[in-house]
Amino acid sequence: MNKLIQIFQKMQSVDRRYIFIVVALSIIIPLLIPFNSKTYVTEPTESIYRKIDSFANDKSKAVLLSFTHNASTMPELFPMEVAVLRHCFERNIKVFTICWLPDAAPLVDYAINTAKEDYNVQSGIDYCNFGYRPYSLRIPIMLGMGENIAESVETDSQGRKLDNLPIMDNIKNYDDMNLVIDFAGSSSAIQWVMYARAKFGANVAAGITAVMVADNYPYLQTGQLIGMFRGLKGAAEYEKLVDVFASYESPDYPNGRPFSKEIIKETWVPITDDKIPYKYKKARIGMNAQSVAHIMIIVFILLGNIGYFLTRQKKKKIV
């Protein structure tokens, strides 16, 4: 027993840099040697998928992706954005993008370019980037889009008049652009809930970093957010949904198959084969590393607590 206590005492005084090394290795090894693990799809992610999928091939409906983040939150948010854009391109859904921070503008282009490489889509016809709009104009633009998008935003990122773009046919306000997904490392989706949902009845969803999940849950629970991507896990779930349904190809379903709860429960998408490009499984590979790192952290917490209680017991005995 004394030896065990001594070991734990030594462990408690170990240089924290050794712990950093262990955590780093627990991430590096699963990334270098990916393994297949199951990704369970949860209700908040599934709701967003089903809503977007209901717009498939409908030229009178569109999705707006609002980028309210910069590069610092890219590891969590970028895979979500690529997965949603891929879904829209797969299912022939009109998609608009807008960003509110100066350094988000290149991220929007990067996300669109990453997703469109594999699809025959054109700017102004299949998708449209409104570009950067100052954050101070966010509320007027949000409210303005409820009346008329073309009058509120006026031009796209290339300076073209929105009225002249084919993508704007049948798209006037939130009745048509009926889903807004806000990607952010903050609670900025709540602004969409306040101004676009409460006032105009737009459907709002949030793609947020894991830190912000607890803050946004009340709005999900009350149904004011129709769905929520919760950090890297949410991105991994959506990647799987797109693989299993939207990009599924067979003689029966040449353009993807419809969503089914039974299929998603039973289907297991292996990420170690080369059929799926790396960019479309980045979040799932990341989640493997995430799982290993979490196990390591749990082990450290347990060891730390055992050591603490053992040494406390010993101190009590001495006293």
Sign of the torsion formed by the C-alpha atoms of 117, 263, 271 and 38: positive
Q: Which is nearer to other proteins, 86 or 233 (CB)?
A: 233
Tokens of 168: 């704007």
At its nearest, how many Å lie between other proteins and the CB of residue 245?
Answer: 25
Nearest alpha-carbon partner for 210 in 107, 80, 109, 300: 80
Cβ count near 132 (within 10 Å): 18
At its nearest, how many Å lie between other proteins and the CB of residue 162?
Answer: 14
Q: Which is nearer to other proteins, 1 or 214 (CB)?
A: 214
Q: Which is nearer to other proteins, 83 or 93 (CB)?
A: 83
At its nearest, how many Å lie between other proteins and the CB of residue 77?
Answer: 10
Element (H, E) at 168: none
CB 279 within 8 A of CB 82: yes
Using N-to-C axis directions, what is the helix angle for 231-241 and 74-90, rounded to 10°?
20
* Interacting residues toward other proteins by CB under 8 A: 17, 20, 23-24, 27-28, 31-32, 72-76, 102-103, 105, 131-134, 137, 139, 190, 193-195, 197-199, 209-211, 213-214, 218-219, 221-224, 230-233, 274, 278, 282, 285-286, 289-290, 293-294, 297
Q: Which is nearer to other proteins, 173 or 209 (CB)?
A: 209
At its nearest, how many Å lie between other proteins and the CB of residue 189?
Answer: 11
- Strands 62-68 and 203-208, bridge-based pairing: unpaired
Cβ count near 279 (within 10 Å): 16
End-to-end CA separation in angstroms for the chain:
18
At its nearest, how many Å lie between other proteins and the CB of residue 161?
Answer: 14
Spell out the SS3 assignment of 103-152: HHHHHHHHHHHHHHCCCCCCECCCEEEEEECCHHHHHHHHHHHHHCHHHH
Q: Which is nearer to other proteins, 36 or 72 (CB)?
A: 72
Q: Which is nearer to other proteins, 136 or 250 (CB)?
A: 136
At its nearest, how many Å lie between other proteins and the CB of residue 28?
Answer: 6
